Structure 1
């Protein structure tokens, strides 16, 4: 995959996991050197036995990015996968290295890589790994209920796009955005007039987009809008105040009334997906 493609993926508010194979020998060698010299941020060893195969799979994740070509836009993790075993009676040993824009753990990458990012594993990946549904620390105000709606909408949009595309957010913007915005604009803004630097609908929309792309929690959503501020500002014509900050996102998600938000999301979703 060309380095330019990474830039396009990041600019479209998506993330990537790319294998550094024979066509990227420098990248592969660099990750191997990092693995030899550095302790991994996380590591997992799995043993898999099938009828004609026995495999020991070791996945290591590194966040040491020194020496990586800056043209690999958005890279946050280096992943080394080593497979040792017996296949049809013959020994084999292979090492595959990856780069990713996500800040995942070895366990998370093992799930995705083992399933080759296939359709049968994508729903599990999205729900338990990307959305990190089981480790959410959001507990205050209306945030937990509001977050559950956002996840449902994001998950169904992903499901409706058959999981397989890295341009989910782009398709969402192209096909569904106008009617969803119309519904979000009808959600009553609980903030005082002085506290409305950013429209409520815009903040809620960015939370949905961030969730669709694996950003979790207030800090994660703040990172999402900051990281993709250029494309978001251009897409939505934001001028005066730029993109909303972490604190603005937190205040909105905690404060917006769950019942009103649910009503508007459902009005939109019933024409598209099942919640």
Structure 2
């Protein structure tokens, strides 16, 4: 259960979900006709040594018949990959990955010369990530700067101290993050991003439709799956479902031009078929919204 000021490493609490996401990215990248490339995700999973996820890498057949998370991760990752590349193609040279986890975009994507990628996350998560990357002599394709700070602290000050220039446009991502924040913290996050964003900035967000019960994503697993896709962890205990602003509406009201995409629309754009699912899983499949916003 979450508590005020709680912390985690890569094999506990919210950190373990980042490890799960890396596992599903690794499986997508290794599968037939993958939507993404990610040579780093399996390195993180193997280094962490968490039995459930190393087991999935060794034998993905355990996921047969569970299309929601593994296939979904390919859509989500490709969306944000293309979002970042579109922004830098338009001249933006500062990228900020909020709650970066084991995201390896600084290494995977072909960034233009002069691009700086800032990664914000808990100190223990970034420490683990750095250790693995150094051990494998990985070289980033941009000027990567880790910003080790809790989002509940003064992260804008830490970001500026790392060299972020709020007078220049930036491209931001909030991917796989919002359900893990209390409503007030989510709303404060967007207010802080707006304060730091010059004209010409871009923001990509994974959100949910107004009124969505995000805890259903965790609790419904017991009905359809023998075991949680994330192992022994109970995602419902990590999520917050208190009242908060709708990101699309809030950003629009604050002067951003917003576009929203459903998973089904991403599947069509990427030449994939939406999975055939029971009605209540179809409902879950349609809940996330992927937003692009430009100031």
Q: Shorter-chain TM-score: what band?
A: under 0.3
Q: Normalization by structure 2: what TM-score?
A: 0.25
Which structure dedicates a bigger proportion of its chain to helix?
1
Structure ID, larger Rg: 1
